[in-house]
Amino acid sequence: MEINKTVTCIVCPKGCRIDVKVKNGEIVSIQNYDCKRGLEYAKNEVLDPRRILTTTLKLSGGRVLPVRTKDPIPKKLLKKAMLELKDVVITPPVKVGDIVAKNVVGTGIDLISTGNAK
């Protein structure tokens, strides 16, 4: 089975619309990219789409802490990760860059703080 997909590259503001043809689960052609970074983005977006998860965690005392995954995680695991993290409560002090949760949904990728809390 052959599938044609158009991926809008988000690597730079130019926003190239890259055409990807997939046959039997494998990429057979990629067209309309303007650079190698876009080529890699389109490949990954079709075969293994990933996103940085940004959210907030509860802090003991009622406030919230902004956090993100250190690297992108598979897009299909974002919802599962949100469910896993919804009841996590962090005890201050925490500073920017501290790991607040390890190995989010078994990805091997950690969650880091993007804020400070005393």
CA atoms within 13 A on the CB side of 33: 22
CA dist., res. 100 & res. 105, Å (int): 14
Residues 32-71 vs ligand SF4: string with x where CB under 6 A?
-xxx-xx---------------------------------
* Residue whose CB is less far from ligand SF4, 34 or 48: 34
| Residue type at position 39 | L
For CA atoms 47, 52, 56, 57, give the dihedral sign: positive
H runs (alpha helix) in the chain: 36-47, 78-85
Q: Pick the piece of the chain touching ligand SF4 (CB under 6 A) from 29-37, 51-59, 80-88, 102-110.
A: 29-37
Q: Pick the piece of the chain touching ligand SF4 (CB under 6 A) from 20-28, 31-39, 50-58, 76-84.
A: 31-39
* Residue whose CB is less far from ligand SF4, 40 or 48: 40
* Position of minimal CB gap to ligand SF4: 38
Place of tokens 């690597």: 11
How many Cβ atoms are within 10 Å of 109's Cβ, its own excluded? 22
Is residue 11 a contact point for ligand SF4 (CB under 6 A)? yes
Binding site residues, ligand SF4, CB under 6 A: 9, 11-12, 14-16, 33-35, 37-38
